[in-house]
Chain A
Amino acid sequence: MDFDLMQRVWWFFAEASVATIYISALAIVLGLCLGFTAALASLSRLAVVRWPARAYVSVFRGTPALIQLFLLFFGGLQLGLELTPIQAGIIALGINIGAYMTESIRGAIVAVERGQMEAGRCLGLSHAQTMRRIILPQAARLMVRPLGVNSVALIKGSAIVSTISVTELTYTAHRFISSTYKPFEMFILAAIFYLVIITLFMRLIGWIDARVALED
């Protein structure tokens, strides 16, 4: 292995990590917004509200993220929607992970004991008030881990935006391979940075999970 080369170029990978983190962070925020909206919608009493949420989940979990990204970026260009690669990357990743997050959030909400809703309603609270004050705070604790798993998948999956030339970790590896012809070293470097990002991220999730855990 060419450690000398790795030492010379690692800083470019560190910079590219910032792009990976930036894209992932924004995509996670977008995914959470979509996930919450769609999860609440999918639990609605009204079929017209439920149906689009269910369709969103099936479509975006049922097709490759890469195709979704190409549709948005290249298909978008064709239809006159001019997004920069970074914008297209964030939006496509966010919408895709939002579909998975919908299921995590929905699962956490329905896992809260049924008696909690009854207790809230018996006190004269509306459905919405009970949701906000009783159900969601308890569901929030149950959804930290699954949302963490979704987010880790997203960080790894963010590699696909290299295909539309966003200068993140995987793209940077490719770029250096074409000038150095050392794919092994370059991919190892990229893998190490992914591993560091994800390890730190899982720590963060563990910390949040401990913070919100029920006192008992």
Chain B
Amino acid sequence: MSDPRREPLVRIRNLKKNFGTLEVLKGIDMDVHEGQIMALIGPSGSGKSTLLRTINQLEEVTSGEIWFDGTLVNAPLSHRAREKHLNALRRNIGMVFQHFNLFPHMTALENVTMAPVLLGLQTKDEAREKALRLLDKVGLGDRANYYPARLSGGQKQRVAIARALAMEPKMMLFDEVTSALDPELVGEVNRTMKQLAQENMTMLIVTHELKFAADTASHVVFMADGLIVEEGPPQQVLRDPVQARTRAFLQQDD
């Protein structure tokens, strides 16, 4: 799957992020290789979401470097040049949010087709056909014409995944995508993510579900207080952690 000799898809170096005087990321170094399923775990407030959001620049960074597919994401550019650069970058990075953020005034199908058509990447017919295939794949072929308000949380989240996939991204970011769901709806979303993992999608997943991380991830990163404390294969980090901080977190979670 991932070949460590190849250039990583995401390369983060000495990344720092402050919100005003609050230091949230204190120097992160991280590589995500193509095909890697990376789970990001850690206590609340440790900076997991912030780290994820700096990769597609929903948050600007304070210092450090983020490289995606060979280009410097946070290159110093004029406002206009930066906007163009980001629009191009973001087409290649899908993101799924905790609260779905589906467009409520569009049907499931329209949610999925809107961006590729508007950006001229697919014709209306192509986009429609592709969207129906994607909705089918996430188990919602029969819900294509439903508005989000008529879908359950789990269904909404699967539409959100299909919407991101319609852009044919090189990588997907997931920020606690099951934590707003009723427990009985978590499984259907997790299954969709596992299926994506099996198809070799590069995924960076912020999650508090350690069992899901253990089953699905190829690599686990444990963060605390804005730093990476420990990382490695799931069986090592989750079963046999080296750092006391990791052990404390895992025990507390049981």
A residues at B contact (CB < 8 Å): 45, 113, 115-116, 118-127, 129, 133-134, 137-138, 141, 214-216
Residue in A116, A119, A133, A214 whose Cβ sees the most chain B Cβ within 10 Å: A119
- The reply to whether A133 and B90 contact each other, CB–CB distance below 8 Å, is no
Closest chain-B Cβ to A192's Cβ sits at a distance in Å of 40
Q: How far is the CA of A121 from the CA of B89 in the complex (A)?
A: 11
Do B115 and A125 touch across chains, with their CB atoms under 8 A apart?
yes
Interchain nearest-CB distance for B250 vs A (Å)? 31
Segment of B39-47, B98-106, B192-200, B219-227 engaged in the interface with chain A: B98-106
Shortest C-beta distance, B177 to chain A (Å), equals 13
Can you pick out 24 interface pairs between chain A and chain B where the beta carbons lie within 8 Å of each other? A45-B79, A115-B99, A116-B103, A118-B97, A119-B97, A119-B101, A119-B102, A121-B58, A122-B56, A122-B94, A124-B88, A124-B90, A125-B87, A126-B83, A129-B118, A133-B114, A133-B118, A138-B103, A138-B104, A141-B105, A215-B150, A216-B147, A216-B149, A216-B150
User: Within 8 Å of chain A (Cβ to Cβ): is B91?
Assistant: yes
B132 within 8 A of A: no
Q: How many Å from the CB of B92 to the closest CB on chain A?
A: 8
Interface flag for B16 (CB, 8 Å) = no
Cβ of A47 to closest chain B Cβ, rounded Å:
14
A119, B104: Cα distance in complex, Å: 12
Q: Is B128 positioned at the interface, with any CB of A under 8 Å from its CB?
A: no
Q: Is the CB of B87 within 8 A of A126?
A: yes
Q: Which residues of A contact B90 (CB under 8 A)?
A: 121-124
Q: Which residues of B contact A125 (CB under 8 A)?
A: 87, 115, 118-119
Instruction: Choose among A113, A115, A124 the residue with the greatest number of B CB atoms under 10 Å from its CB.
Output: A124
**Do B118 and A118 touch across chains, with their CB atoms under 8 A apart?**
no
Question: In the assembly, what is the distance between CA of A11 and CA of B97, in Å?
Answer: 62
B147 in complex: contacting residue of A45, A122, A124, A214, CB < 8 Å: A214
- Which B residue sits closest to A141, measured CB to CB? B105
Closest-CB distance, A111 to chain B (whole angstroms)? 13
Known contacts A129-B118, A133-B114, A214-B149; A124/B87 CB under 8 A: yes
B91 contacts A215, C-beta separation under 8 Å: no
Size bracket of the B interface:
20 to 34
Which residues of chain A come closer than 8 Å to B104, judged between CB atoms? 138, 214
Give which listed residue, A113, A119, A122, A215, contacts B149 with CB less than 8 A.
Answer: A215
- A45 CB to closest chain B CB (Å) equals 8
Q: Specify which chain A residues have a CB less than 8 angstroms from the CB of B150 in the assembled complex.
A: 215-216
Would you list the 10 A-B pairs with minimal beta carbon distance, nearest first? A216-B149, A124-B91, A119-B101, A123-B115, A115-B101, A122-B95, A124-B90, A137-B105, A215-B147, A124-B87
Which partner residue on chain A sits nearest B92 by CB separation? A124
Q: Which residue of B lies closest to A121 (CB)?
A: B90
**B163 proximal to A (CB < 8 A):** yes
Q: Tell which of B58, B97, B163 touches A123, judged by Cβ atoms closer than 8 Å.
A: B163
Those of B26-49 within 8 Å (CB) of chain A? none
Q: Which of B88, B90, B149 has the most CB of A within 10 A?
A: B90
A122 to B119, CA, bound (A): 13
Per the bound structure, the CA–CA distance linking A49 and B151 in Å amounts to 41
Q: Are B105 and A124 in contact (CB under 8 A)?
A: no
Q: How far is the CB of A11 from chain B (nearest CB, A)?
A: 46
Do A127 and B83 touch (CB < 8 A)?
yes
Taking the complex as formed, is B203 at the interface, i.e. its CB lies under 8 A from any CB of chain A? no
The residues in B between 48 and 105 inclusive whose CB is less than 8 angstroms from any CB of A are 56, 58, 79, 83, 86-88, 90-91, 93-95, 97, 99, 101-105
Shortest CB distance B97–A (Å): 6
Please give me the residue from chain A that is nearest to B87 by CB atom.
A124
The residue among A120, A122, A125, A138 with the most chain B CB atoms within 10 A of its own CB is: A122
